[in-house]
Structure 1
Amino acid sequence: MRRTPAKKGPSNATSSSNSSAADPLRSGGRTATKELDSIDQLYNTYANKSSGIIDPEGIEHLCSDLEVDHTDVRILMLAWKMQSERQGYFTLEEWRRGFKALRVDTISKLKKSLPDLEKEVQRPSNHVNFYSYAFQYCLTEEKQKTIDIESICELLELVLGSLYPPQVNSFVKYLKIQSDYKVINMDQWMGFYRFCNEISFPDFGNYDAELAWPLILDNFVEWMRSK
C-alpha cells in the first residue's frame, strides 16, 4: 500500500522528530541493549567455557534452575521456540531468538513464561509445526532420516500423549509388539498426526485404507479391528 505523504510541519519540529528517531537511546535502544546484555550474560552462565555453546551439561543446569526435569516436554518447547538445530545444544543465536520471542531476560521470567509457551504450542496452527520439529530435533546423526521404535514411542507420549491419549496409547502398544518396522520416518510420523486429527477412534468409521495412508497405519487399524 502506498503511504500518504506526511504534511510538512515547522522545521524545528521536523528536526526534533528526526533526531529522536535517529537516536536509539531516545527510542528504546538503551532498554533493548540492556535486555540483550542480560540475555547474553545468562547464556554465559550455562555455556561451556571451552566451546562457548550450551551443551547437555549446561541444559541440565538450566533445567535445575527452572525446576523441571530435562525430559519435560517444556524443554522441547523451549528448543522449538529457539529453533534449535542440534539436540542437547543451544547456540547464542538460538538462545537470543528464543528469549526475544518470549520477551524474557532472566530465569525467573523464563520460568513464568512456560505456561504461556505451553498454550502457544497447543494452538492447532502451532502444534503441527511443533510435532514436526520434535521429529527433526531427534535426528542426531548426519543424513539420519529415521528414528528407532523405542525412541518414537517415548516421543509420541511426550508430544502427543496429552492431546490424544487413547490413540497414542494404542499405537505405542502396537509399535512395541509388531515386528515389521524397526524405525519410523517423517512421512509415517506426520501420517499418525493426521490420523489422530481426522479418524474417528476407536471405531475407525471414516478410515479408508485405499487413501494415501502410510502402510504402517493400515496395519495398525487392522490390528485394532482384530482385537
Structure 2
Amino acid sequence: MRRSGAAASKKKSDSITSSATDLFRSASSKATTKEMDRIDHLFNQYANSSSNLIDPEGIEELCSNLDVPHTDIRILMLAWKMKSEKQGYFTQEEWRRGLKALRADTLSKLKKSLPELEKEVRRQLNFADFYAYAFRYCLTEEKQKSIDIETICQLLEIVMGSTFRPQVDYFVDYLKIQNDYKVINMDQWMGFYRFCNEISFPEMTEYNPELAWPLVLDNFVEWIREKQA
C-alpha cells in the first residue's frame, strides 16, 4: 500500500510539473508571437508595399526616425546583425532576424539597442567579420568581385576611420593619387585590416614585402617611406 501511495503521489507530482511546463511553454510561445507581430508591424511601417522590402527610401525614413545619419556606421552594423545580403534593402526575414536578436520590437527599443550593438561589433573577433561583411555588402552585382576606389575610400572612412585614423588617412590619400589601381578586391581589403592590426604606424619597421602582402600595400608602404625620407 505504501508503494502504491508513493507511486500515486509521484504520478500526481509529475502531472503538476508537466502542466506547469505546458503553461510556461504556452505563455512563452504567445509572448514570442506577440513580439514577432510587433516586429512585423514595425517592418510594415518602412517597407514598400509592392515589393515587401524596406528599400533605400524606407531606410532613409528609418534613419530619420532613429536620429541617425544614413551614412552612420551603426546602420551598417544593423545590416550586419540582420545578415542583409543586398545593399540598401532589408527583407522581412532579415528584419525579423536582426530585431529579434536585438530584442527590439519597437522603434524606441531599436534606438536604445544601437549603443550595445556597436559595442558587440567592436569586439575584435566580431569586428573582423564585420569588416569583411562591409566589403561584401557593397558589391552591388552578383558576379562583382571588386569595388571602385572612390567607394572604397568612403567605406574605409566609415568602417575604420574612428579606430585607425592615421592609417586610413594615409591610405585614402595614397589611393586617390595612385594610378595603378582602379578597384580594390577582397584580398586587398582584408590585407589593409591585417596591416592596421599587425604593423606599427608610422614606423612600419615590421613590414616585410616578402610576407605575401597584397602588392597595393607594398606600393603604399614604399610611398609613405619616400614621403618620410
**Normalised TM-score (structure 2):** 0.93
Matched, 1:55 2:55: yes
SS of equivalent residue, structure 1 residue 10? helix
Matched, 1:146 2:146: yes
Could you tell me whether the CA contact under 8 Å between 1:59 and 1:88 is conserved in 2?
yes
CA deviation string 1:9-41 (max 9, x = no partner): 811221232233344654422211111110011
Matched, 1:155 2:155: yes
Could you tell me whether the CA contact under 8 Å between 1:20 and 1:26 is conserved in 2?
no
CA deviation string 1:68-105 (max 9, x = no partner): 11111110000000000000110111001100111110
Q: Which AA in structure 2 matches 1:87? A: Q
Could you tell me whether the CA contact under 8 Å between 1:164 and 1:196 is conserved in 2?
yes
The structure having more radius of gyration, on CA atoms, is 2
Structure 1 position 162, deviation (Å): 0.5
SS of equivalent residue, structure 2 residue 147? strand
Sequence identity of aligned pairs in percent? 68
Aligned to 2:200: 200
Relative to structure 2, which stretch is displaced further, 21-30 or 185-194? 21-30
Q: Distance in 2 between matches of 1:22 and 1:199?
A: 57
5+ residue gaps, structure 1: 1-8
Q: Distance in 1 between matches of 2:22 and 2:184?
A: 54
Could you tell me whether the CA contact under 8 Å between 1:82 and 1:98 is conserved in 2?
yes
Q: Which AA in structure 1 matches 2:89? A: Y
Aligned to 2:175: 175
Q: Distance in 1 between matches of 2:21 and 2:93?
A: 27
5+ residue gaps, structure 2: 1-8
Q: Distance in 2 between matches of 1:20 and 1:126?
A: 39
Q: Which AA in structure 2 matches 1:220? A: F
CA deviation string 1:37-59 (max 9, x = no partner): 10011101111111111111111
**Number of residues paired by the alignment?**
219
Q: Which AA in structure 2 matches 1:115? A: P
Relative to structure 2, which stretch is displaced further, 22-31 or 132-141? 22-31
Structure 1 position 203, deviation (Å): 1.0
Aligned to 1:77: 77
Cα distance change on mapping 1:169 and 1:130 into 2, 3 Å: same
SS of equivalent residue, structure 1 residue 184? strand
CA deviation string 1:158-179 (max 9, x = no partner): 0001000000000000000000
Matched, 1:35 2:72: no
SS of equivalent residue, structure 2 residue 184? strand
Q: Which AA in structure 1 matches 2:99? A: F
Could you tell me whether the CA contact under 8 Å between 1:21 and 1:27 is conserved in 2?
no
Between Structure 1 and Structure 2, the one with more helix by share is 2
